[in-house]
């Protein structure tokens, strides 16, 4: 069985063993809140591990050896094993193996838990260093929510409201790598008015967000609140269609780590933004999605 659905009186959520990916999130009326992996972007809410974004030349350097590791890492394309499947909780795990070590030469255990708690779904990532050296790693969520939130609503009527004012400059990507030049934030106080044009230059990256939650709203639609703990950055993204419009989804992505900076040629362990987990220790990162 490669999918499992958890549900309560408020929500139902379906998770795939492939990538431990959330692939459906419905409210009590059965309204789907997640993008349904149409061809323009055939994913729902992939897990990003052991990197977020891209490495220069898709190459990881460690102890004088080069390893090929492509954008966002391999976890989203691996089949996880089920540990727990109950009516309101499911838990999955991925271990390093010969195939992962050919891309990423480290021992790890990645455990993913989905828990329904009233009107919220909590996703917890536990990263354990099972090796004998420090584990350098990044991780991130990548949930894609339907945009517009309600049929017939204009995309430009949607806003993101942050828990705190966000005056800091944002970061952008340059050929898939982190640009060295900060850009002025499009956020006014706590409010970002959404427009497909925001994503013409790829993701909007908050590398030092003051907030730990953001609310996605539109007039007449149920709101979605995303909150996080342990993640340090936030990415916002939608894919452009080629006609100056975005696809009908908005990704709200808590991250710990980002793409390599333009010009970074160092060893992977020295890449900015990584977790450096000592042998035998773990890190726990939590993402929470609430309908409100």
pLDDT digits (tens, 9 = 90+) for 107-161: 999 999 999 999 999 999 999 999 999 999 999 999 999 999 988 889 999 999 9
Adjacency order of strands within the sheet including 282-291: 81-85, 89-95, 108-117, 120-129, 282-291, 224-229, 213-217, 159-162, 191-193
Q: Could you list the residue range(s) of the whole structural domain that residue 32 is in?
A: 3-291
Residue 22 confidence (pLDDT): 98
Whether residue 67 contacts residue 105, with contact meaning beta carbons closer than 8 Å, is answered with yes
Residue 86 confidence (pLDDT): 97
Residue 182 confidence (pLDDT): 95
The candidate with the shortest Cα–Cα distance to 151, out of 221, 231, 239, is 221
Residue 220 confidence (pLDDT): 87
Q: Give CA–CA dist 252/288, Å, rounded.
A: 11
CATH code of 249's domain: 2.70.98.10
Instruction: Say which residue the tokens 């420090």 belong to.
Output: 134
Residue 243 confidence (pLDDT): 75
C-alpha distances in angstroms, 279 versus 99, 127, 135? 21, 11, 7
Structural domain count, the chain: 1
State the DSSP H helix or E strand holding residue 194, giving kind and residue range, or none if neither.
none
**C-alpha count within 13 angstroms, C-beta hemisphere, residue 24:** 16
Strand ranges, E, within 49-174:
59-62, 65-68, 81-85, 89-95, 108-117, 120-129, 135-137, 139-140, 144-146, 159-162, 173-174
Whether residue 273 contacts residue 256, with contact meaning beta carbons closer than 8 Å, is answered with yes
């Amino acid at each position: 069985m490669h999918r499992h659905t958890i549900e309560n009186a408020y929500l139902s959520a379906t998770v795939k063993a492939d990538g431990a990916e959330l692939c459906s999130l419905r409210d009590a009326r059965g309204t789907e809140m997640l993008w349904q992996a149409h061809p323009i972007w055939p994913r729902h809410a992939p897990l990003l591990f052991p990197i977020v974004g891209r490495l220069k030349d898709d190459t990881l350097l460690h102890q004088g050896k080069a390893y090929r590791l492509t954008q966002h890492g391999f976890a989203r394309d691996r089949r996880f094993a089920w540990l727990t499947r109950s009516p309101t909780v499911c838990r999955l795990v991925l271990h390093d193996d010969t195939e992962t070590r050919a891309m990423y030469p480290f021992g790890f255990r990645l455990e993913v838990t989905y828990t329904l708690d009233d009107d919220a779904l909590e996703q917890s990532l536990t990263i354990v260093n099972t090796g004998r050296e420090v584990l350098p790693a990044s991780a991130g969520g990548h949930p894609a929510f339907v945009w517009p939130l309600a049929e017939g609503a204009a995309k430009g009527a949607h806003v993101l409201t942050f828990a705190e004012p966000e005056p800091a400059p944002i970061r952008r990507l340059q050929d898939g790598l982190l640009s060295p030049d900060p850009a002025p934030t499009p956020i006014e106080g706590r409010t970002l008015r959404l427009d497909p044009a925001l994503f013409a230059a790829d993701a909007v990256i908050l590398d030092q967000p003051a907030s730990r939650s953001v609310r996605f709203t539109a007039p007449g639609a149920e709101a979605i609140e995303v909150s996080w703990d342990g993640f340090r950055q936030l990415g916002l993204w939608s894919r452009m269609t080629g006609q100056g419009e975005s696809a009908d989804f908005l990704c709200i992505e808590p991250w710990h780590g980002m793409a390599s900076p333009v010009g970074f040629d160092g060893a992977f362990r020295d890449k900015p933004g990584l977790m450096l987990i000592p042998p035998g220790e773990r890190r726990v990162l939590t993402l929470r999605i609430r309908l409100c």
